Amino acid sequence: MQKRALGRSGIEVPPLIFGGNVFGWTADQATSFRLLDACVEAGLNAIDTADVYSRWVSGHAGGESETVIGAWLKARPGMRDRVLILTKCGMEMPGRGSGLSPAWIARAVEDSLRRLGVERIDLYQSHQDDESVPLEETLGAFARLIEQGKVRAIGASNYTAPRLKAALEASAKHNLPRYESLQPHYNLMERGIEADLLPLCREQGIGVIPYYSLAAGFLTGKYRSEADLDKSPRGRRSAAKYLDARGKRVLAALDEAAARHGATPAQVALAWQIAKPGITAPIASATSVEQLAELVKAATLALDAGTVAALDAASA
C-alpha cells in the first residue's frame, strides 16, 4: 500500500487512516483489539484518536480510546514500532481542563502518553482553535514537547483558513514548529474546505486528513428514506440533513460508480477523497473486521477521471 507524506514532517501515512473514536465505545476492548490487529495486517498502520474520545458516552470521562490503544500495545510486544499514533488535545476534559494554553498542553500530553503507554506521540494535534491563547504560546508549548522527544510532529484540526495561515506565519516569524497537517470536516456532502482551506494547504505543503469521511454513514447508502433514518442512533441525529435532492443525487452517482468499479458506495466515497489533489488520507472507522475489510479495499480503489468528475458534479 503506497504511503503518502504528511506535510514536511517526515511521517508517511497510508492512503486511509483508521479512526479510533470507536474504541471503548461502539467497539469493546476485545473487538478493538481485533480491529487494530486487522488494521496493521492490512497496512493501515496510522491510528487517529483524541484525549476526549469518548467523553460523550454516559459514564465516560474521556481517554477511553487512548486507554484501549495502550492496552493493545502492551499486549502486542514490538507493535509500537509498526504503528503511527495520532492524537489530539484542546477540547474539554470534564473537571480537568481544556484549550491550548502551555500549562494545559503540558498536562494533557502527559495524560495521553500515560494512557497510550508510549514515550512519544507521532502526530499531536490541536483539536480545535483557542483564540484566547496567543498562537506563539501554543506553538512554543508544542516546540518544547518536540525538543523533549514526547511529540514527533504537530497538526491542527477544525481551524479556519485565516487562523491556520496566522499559525503558519507565527511559526515562521518565531522559528517554531509548524502545523504539518490539518484535520477538517470533508466529504462528498461537505466540500466547504475547497474554497480556501484546501488551496492554502496545497500551497503550503500541509497534509490534509479529513474526518467524517462518510458523512455519518450517509455515503454508505444506508439511509435512503425517512424510514431508514431509524436504522441507527446516528441516523436522525447526523444523517437526516443529507436526505434531500442533492443527497439523493450523490447516492445515485455513488451507486453508478460502484456498479462500474465492482465496489460499494462507501468504497467509492472514500476513493473519491483519496483521488482529490491535496487530500493526504481520509479518516474512517469501523466496528467490525468485516466493515474494516471494506475500508481496506477503498484504499486501493483507483477511480478514473470521469468517475471523479461525475461525483464532483453530483455533489456540487
Residues belonging to the active site = 53
Single-letter amino acid, residue 111: D
What gap in Å lies between CA 246 and CA 252, rounded to an integer? 10
Pairing state of beta strands 283-284 and 179-183? unpaired
On whether the CB atoms of residues 314 and 253 are closer than 8 A, the answer is: yes
Length of the chain: 316
Q: Please list, residue by residue across 264-292, b when 16 or more beta carbons sit within 10 angstroms of its beta carbon and e when fewer do.
A: bbbbbbbbbbbbbebbbbbbbbbbeeeeb
Pairing state of beta strands 283-284 and 17-19? parallel
DSSP state, residue 22: G
Q: Which residue in the block uniquely carries the three cell numbers 499486549?
A: 75
DSSP state, residue 12: E
Pairing state of beta strands 12-13 and 4-5? antiparallel
What gap in Å lies between CA 140 and CA 120, rounded to an integer? 18
DSSP β-bridge partners for residue 47: 18, 85
On whether the CB atoms of residues 183 and 209 are closer than 8 A, the answer is: yes
What gap in Å lies between CA 46 and CA 212, rounded to an integer? 16
DSSP string, 130-175: -TTS-HHHHHHHHHHHHHTTSEEEEEEES--HHHHHHHHHHHHHHT
| Burial category of 5 from C-beta neighbours within 10 Å (exposed 0-12, middle 13-18, buried 19 and up) | middle
Query: Residue 31 in 3-state DSSP?
Result: helix
